[in-house]
Amino acid sequence: MSFGFSVGDFIAVLDKVEKIRSRFVAAPSQFSALSQEVKNLSNIVRDINDALQIASNFTPRQEEDLRDISQNCQNVLVDLEKTVDENQVLEVRSGNLSSKTVRAWKRLTWEPANVAELRARISSSIGLLTAFNSGITKSITKEDLEATKQAVERLTQHQDDAQRHDIEKWISSDKPSAKQNDIFRRRQEGTGEWLLESPEYRTWYKGEKQTLFCQGIPGAGKTIMSSIVINDLDSTFPAGQSDVGIAFLYCDYKTEKEQSPEFFMASLLSQLLRRQSSLPAFIRDLYQKEKEDLPRPQDIKSALRIVVKTCSRVFIVVDALDECKEADSTRTELLDELFYLRDECGAALFTTSRFHTKDVSSRFHGELGLDIRADDGDIEKFLRGNMGSLREFIQKRPTLQEDIRTAIIASAKGMFLLAKLHLDSLRDKVTPKEVKNALERLPKGSNALNLAYDEAIRRIESQDTGIKELAKKTLSWVVHAKRQLRAAELQHALAVEIKSSVLGIDASHNEIDEKPHLRELDPDNIAEIEDILSACGGLVIIEEETRHVHLVHETTMEYFHQIRDSWLPGTDTEMTVVCLTYLSLDRPEDDPFLGNSEPKHFWGKGETGFADYAAQYWGDHAHDADDTYMQAALDFLCSKKKAKAGLPIFTLDSSGLRRIFEEDTPAFHVITYFELPDLIKPLRTHGLPINAQDEQGWTALSYAAHFGKMTMAKALLAEDGIAPDHKDAIGRTPLFIALMSQHVKLVKVFLQQPGVNPDVSLDDSCGTPLAFAAHRGFLDMFTLLLQNGANPASKNKEGRTPLLIAARGGHVKIVQALLNTGLAKMESGDKNGKTPLMNATERGRIGVVKLLLDAGSNPNTKDKYGWTALFYALNCGQLEISRLLVASKDVDTEARDSLGRTAYDYSYFPPPAVLSETAPMYNRRSSLSDNTN
């Protein structure tokens, strides 16, 4: 509206109506007619208010009419409110715990004349408003309605998009498109066409075969080929075609620590969902139900299968199965699920692997296959496309360029990687003769790749001292880093200046003169990433989208592992000191490392630093370092900077991202987490208390128990003054913590330690360690506790014994073990008198019921309500147990509870025949009326 009388003025009328209408709630019956008139007035005012939000143009006459009608309404409402005030009083009403003041109607009757007048005035206002509403409704244009509709749709779409983003992020944080874009960008234009035009690919693409398994030698270009296939599928079936699913996985040795079956399945599911126009309802329901936690692996797997089945076609591309880690059965589980998606859900699989990866090749035996190799035409295209990277004199000599192409193609033997390395080897040549001599020396044969790497190392060593040292330090970080480094992290790591006395080495470009304290990172010491990559002679590359820095190929990593001791000695020691030095630097006050939500620990602005990596992994590097790192570690751990720099530390476990250390975590906890026992005595020498506690009352020994750090636990227990039975804030000892974390070997170590009480009891319902093991069914640890004197007759605060707890859980072997002790009391009930037999019966643990009955448990024992086991069996619908009990000659089927009822009066089963074969008396149910007097 664009006139003087604003929408806000009319909203005031609406508010006044609603306020008065609310006061007519619970009004005496004589006011019902007036109350109805107020309700009618409220409805028409609401209608007009809605129309005002849509309408865009009004005539001057309409503006004037609305102003007059609104003022009339205001006058009527003021008089009505005044009359209501005169006929209500304030009363104080008391409840059980408090009192409150409310309005109440007086016990009198209004004057009929007054009521009639008010009703007439309200009716008049309603009439005027209705007429006005009819007029403005007719004046609302189609454009007004369409604009409103579009605004609502935009709002709804925005809300849907926001929730969709949250759901997809909840399912998987993986961003495979960035990897795909980077790899596909590195291909040479026009290469790989032979694969897309091959009969094998066309057969697979058309759906005549559901699997295409491609093998190749290292460096043949398998990963590039996978990216070409993914791009071809995306181009053929664009994202708008939501009934066709496309998903892919790049297995990568560089991210082995993050690889898991759950990670892979979640990534596939997330990719398939992104292609759909809207998320399935069951996915939204799952998110609403579980969004406070990470999705469960079984839910992800089930959802993935459902989504694949609902698509008309699904293509799944998996590159480098040989790089998927094998040690913990990740690769086996991935292959199992891929074949299930193919065989049961109809997915089409395109996979690549090195030749002779035994467990992979055997799984694809008999499937449609195709060998990947770089054909000469593709290598020639690559060389032509990259000839411009060589020196200017080569650009001026077409004949020399042809010689280069001919020699490299002959030497590469179908290996793109080797062609790249050979081309890189020519970049430092300054005359045609040097180029020709290099071409004559190009390595050939089975060892050609290693010889090419040897040549790359020779070129690095021949560079100027500063460039050579930069290359060697870069390669040290890239090869030995515990995870992939971002470019900014690498730049900061290389910029750290360490004191020569720390490592006992001669001064070099990255060291500083002796100074009592290092204050901050010198920005003038940070090298440009382009210069860093150039120094490494083509062995290190950067992903443009993610800014991750890594070696050019997996075989490059294999090569450096072979020469690390001779070419990069002492790497982990220096890396440890660099991390600790960096963490000891001053940092800006606005450093996001102070945040609590995610591990964005970077010195400087944004993601431009190295603190996250340094805090997470300095201890891992220290494992492989020599003793010269220890002074830097002690300086760091004993300084106040530790609280502000090295902590908190985050880690990933089954519950997702969580904090390991808070900022005031004691130093002993830190070295326990990293398992650095050699620092125990030096820290004690510096006066740090070995039994220091964190905010939850945990000592370093508690941390060792929780994280399963056996070496640290033994080292700590060997120290004088250690408290092996220390209780945390809720009463848990290291023994209890090790038990809860399922570290069997540590439980055994603690039980053998003098002064450790196996019967320590928590204040909550857990009870003793034996009771907790019985509850969780931890048989091995339960047996250890029994063997080391744990009391089988202990009770928790609910009065439950370990036998009762094991019976509830259906843990037959633990029940048997307790019965074998002769000390467990079968008739010992909880605080309500429910025995182990009753608990097992109620929960349907038929194996335990049989075991207890055979051991002599009394089925006629009653709880505090007079119920026996038969009551629980019938009431809970346990048919087999009911039959088992009724068939027992010792069971009193006529037993009555405290209300005089029998078990059959509470039966879940309809009478009369469910138990008739074994209990004929069940046909005559007792009469409630006969037994409740």
**Strand pairing category for 548-551 and 540-542:** antiparallel
Name the more confident of 199 and 38: 199
Burial 251-290 (b: 16+ CB within 10 A, else e): bbbbbeeebebbbbbbbbbbbbbbbbeebeeebeebbeee
**Can you tell me the distance from the alpha carbon of 496 to that of 503, in angstroms, rounded to the nearest whole number?**
14
Does the bond joining 912 to the residue before it have cis omega, within 30 degrees of 0?
Answer: yes
> Is the CB of residue 383 less than 8 Å from the CB of residue 419?
yes
**Can you tell me the distance from the alpha carbon of 715 to that of 721, in angstroms, rounded to the nearest whole number?**
12
Indicate if the pLDDT at residue 290 is higher than 80.
yes
**Helical axes 812-821 vs 846-854, angle rounded to 10°:** 20
Name the more confident of 216 and 134: 216
Q: Which of 640, 634, 649, 723 is nearest to 686 (CA)?
A: 634
Does the bond joining 769 to the residue before it have cis omega, within 30 degrees of 0?
Answer: no
**Strand pairing category for 485-486 and 548-551:** antiparallel
What is the tens place of the pLDDT at every residue in 794-810? 999 899 999 999 999 99
* One-character DSSP codes across 862-921: --TTS--HHHHHHHTT-HHHHHHHHHSTT--TT-B-TTS-BGGGG-SSPTTTTTTTT-GG
Partner residues linked to 315 by β-bridges: 246, 348
Helix (H, G, I), strand (E, B) or coil at 75: helix
pTM of the entire structure? 0.68
- Tell me the CA distances in angstroms from 933 to 862, 900, 902, one per residue in order: 21, 9, 15
Give the pLDDT confidence score for residue 31 in this predicted structure.
Answer: 62
* One-character DSSP codes across 518-564: --S--GGGPPPHHHHHHHTTTSEEE-TTT-EEEES-HHHHHHHHHHH
User: Average pLDDT of 420-436?
Assistant: 92
Indicate if the pLDDT at residue 124 is higher than 80.
no
Give the pLDDT confidence score for residue 98 in this predicted structure.
Answer: 38
Name the more confident of 501 and 677: 677
Q: Which of 696, 697, 703, 698 is nearest to 677 (CA)?
A: 703
Radius of gyration of the chain (CA): 39
Give the pLDDT confidence score for residue 933 in this predicted structure.
Answer: 35
Give the pLDDT confidence score for residue 857 in this predicted structure.
Answer: 94
What is the tens place of the pLDDT at every residue in 741-776? 999 999 999 999 998 999 988 866 678 999 999 999
Give the pLDDT confidence score for residue 28 in this predicted structure.
Answer: 59
Q: Which of 659, 573, 581, 653 is nearest to 620 (CA)?
A: 573
What is the tens place of the pLDDT at every residue in 41-100? 777 777 777 666 655 566 677 777 777 777 777 787 787 777 777 666 444 343 333 334
Give the pLDDT confidence score for residue 521 in this predicted structure.
Answer: 83
Name the more confident of 904 and 815: 815
> Is the CB of residue 389 less than 8 Å from the CB of residue 423?
yes
Task: Look up residue 660 and give its DSSP letter.
Answer: E
- Mean confidence (pLDDT) of the chain: 82
- Of 291-300, 410-419, 579-588, the one with minimum mean pLDDT is 579-588
Could you tell me how far CA 908 lies from the centroid of its own chain? Answer: 42
Based on the number of CB atoms within 10 Å of its own CB, is 889 exposed (0-12), middle (13-18) or buried (19 or more)?
Answer: exposed
Given pLDDT bands bounded at 50, 70 and 90, which one contains residue 32? low
Given pLDDT bands bounded at 50, 70 and 90, which one contains residue 341? very high
Give the pLDDT confidence score for residue 662 in this predicted structure.
Answer: 56
Indicate if the pLDDT at residue 514 is higher than 70.
no
Give the pLDDT confidence score for residue 326 in this predicted structure.
Answer: 80
What is the tens place of the pLDDT at every residue in 218-270? 888 999 999 999 999 999 998 777 789 999 999 988 777 678 899 999 999 99
Name the more confident of 652 and 933: 652
Q: Which of 462, 486, 482 is nearest to 472 (CA)?
A: 462
**Can you tell me the distance from the alpha carbon of 657 to that of 664, in angstroms, rounded to the nearest whole number?**
20
**Strand pairing category for 369-372 and 211-216:** parallel
Q: How many CB atoms lie within 10 A of CB 206?
A: 9
**Can you tell me the distance from the alpha carbon of 352 to that of 367, in angstroms, rounded to the nearest whole number?**
13
Q: In this structure, what token pair is assigned to residue 827?
A: 């008739």
> Is the CB of residue 771 less than 8 Å from the CB of residue 800?
yes
User: Average pLDDT of 808-824?
Assistant: 95
Given pLDDT bands bounded at 50, 70 and 90, which one contains residue 353? very high
Give the pLDDT confidence score for residue 102 in this predicted structure.
Answer: 45
What is the tens place of the pLDDT at every residue in 163-220? 888 898 899 888 889 889 999 998 888 899 999 999 999 999 999 889 999 999 888 8
